[in-house]
A = this chain, B = another copy of it.
Amino acid sequence: MTKLLILGGDGFCGWPTSLYLSARGFDVVIADNLSRRRIDKDMDTDSLTPITTPDERLSAWQEVTGKTIEFVQLDIARDVEGLQDVLSAHRPDAIVHFAEQRAAPYSMRGLAEKLYTVDNNISGTHNLLALVAELGLNPHIVHLGTMGVYGYDGDGLEIPEGYLNVKVEAPDRETLIDRDILYPTNPGSVYHMTKSMDQLLFQFYAKNNGLRITDLHQGIVWGTQTDETRLDERLINRFDYDGDYGTVLNRFLMQAALGHPLTVHGTGGQTRAFIHIQDTVRCIAMALENPPLPDGKVQILNQMTETHRVRDLAKLVARVTNAELAYVDNPRKEAAENDLKVSNKTFLDLGLNPTTLEQGLLNETVEIAKTFSNRARTETIASKSVWTDEQKPGVVLKRDGQKRFKLRSRSDKAA
């Protein structure tokens, strides 16, 4: 039985992944420091869905499926000895690494959150790699990265999977020399910066120690439930809708459920990549079945299934929910409008049949946002993070009802 260590296995992606892989016969051990639950308390917010404690979740899983998942409370960034103990005791065949602070707005909230995000993400990832090398283990390490490392200043190029082929002028100033390089990153937040730095950690340990690493550059994950988390109400997955951890679609759904206008940052011309949580867990299983050779190169895959402009996403949600739109100042320092083309050939070739927003959105609205809207703390929906001092968040500039939908002049120009 394949022994699988899932770091951050209590989180939004980690939990359904743990169940999916346990259901498919992996012997799963979860290690998690429960920081996501702690941060909710610190920020006086909570998952919209009523998630149960780790103990309750795991007991329910055993009760429903007869399968056991072991849980270890562990901070891989701070407790090197604890991580060493877990690695030595289990000697996992594969490790899925979700254990990083994963919200861009949270990473920009203030000094403490910036320092925490860098310390936590870099130390945690490096501790893992250095220990795996030191202990002479040979697990396939699957890491969750982000599309955001690429930045969003696109010039029409398709973002490839893996390395980017570039040509550099030779000293003769005439011929061009080919090089395959890590895609030059241009992160837009401290969080994205740490994921860019992770790439250099992986590059080094793959080259120097032959570690087998797959880095999944994931789009924005939407959806809440998977086939496994639906099996019992105690297995329900978390749904974040606050300004820090709630991704754009969840905030729209929540605002719609509460009868608030959907707040679009800037012109809403930002194009982003998306993937449903059910496809996330499938992709991770596919990645585990296809480890890279220990050839010194990291396997980089783009884990996303569709791209949308934020304002089109808002319109889609507005259509399903009959909500209004409101354009607000953008607290982020980013391009007002950008294109985004991404190759996701590997997972499509491996048989991924994506759940599209068009298909899944209504279900998500009814099953989650409406059902649990009574649990919402409305004051947490707006982001309180600003990227620079000049920026003030969440100021409503103009509201448009769905039927008299009209872009502001500067977005008209840009569009």
Residue ranges of A at the interface with B (Cβ–Cβ < 8 Å): 80, 110-111, 114-115, 118-119, 122-123, 126-127, 130-131, 134, 136, 155-158, 164-171, 176-177, 179, 181-182, 184-188, 190, 193, 196-197, 200-201, 203-204, 207-209, 333, 341, 387-389
Contact = CB atoms under 8 A, between A and B. Distances in A.
Given A115-B127, A190-B204, A169 B165 contact: yes
Given A80-B115, A179-B155, A200 B185 contact: yes
Contacts of A168: 157, 164-167
A136 to B, nearest CB: 7
A165 B80 CA distance: 41
A171 B341 CA distance: 10
30 contacts: A80-B115, A110-B134, A115-B127, A118-B126, A119-B123, A122-B197, A155-B179, A156-B170, A156-B171, A156-B177, A157-B168, A157-B170, A157-B171, A164-B168, A165-B169, A166-B168, A166-B179, A166-B181, A167-B168, A181-B184, A182-B184, A184-B184, A186-B203, A186-B207, A193-B201, A196-B200, A197-B197, A208-B333, A208-B387, A209-B388
Nearest 5 Cβ contacts at the A-B interface:
A166-B166, A181-B184, A167-B167, A197-B197, A111-B134
A209 to B, nearest CB: 6
A208 B200 CA distance: 21
Contacts of A341: 171
Nearest to A127: B115
A16 to B, nearest CB: 31
Contacts of A166: 166-168, 179, 181
Nearest to A157: B168
Nearest to A119: B123
Nearest to A114: B130
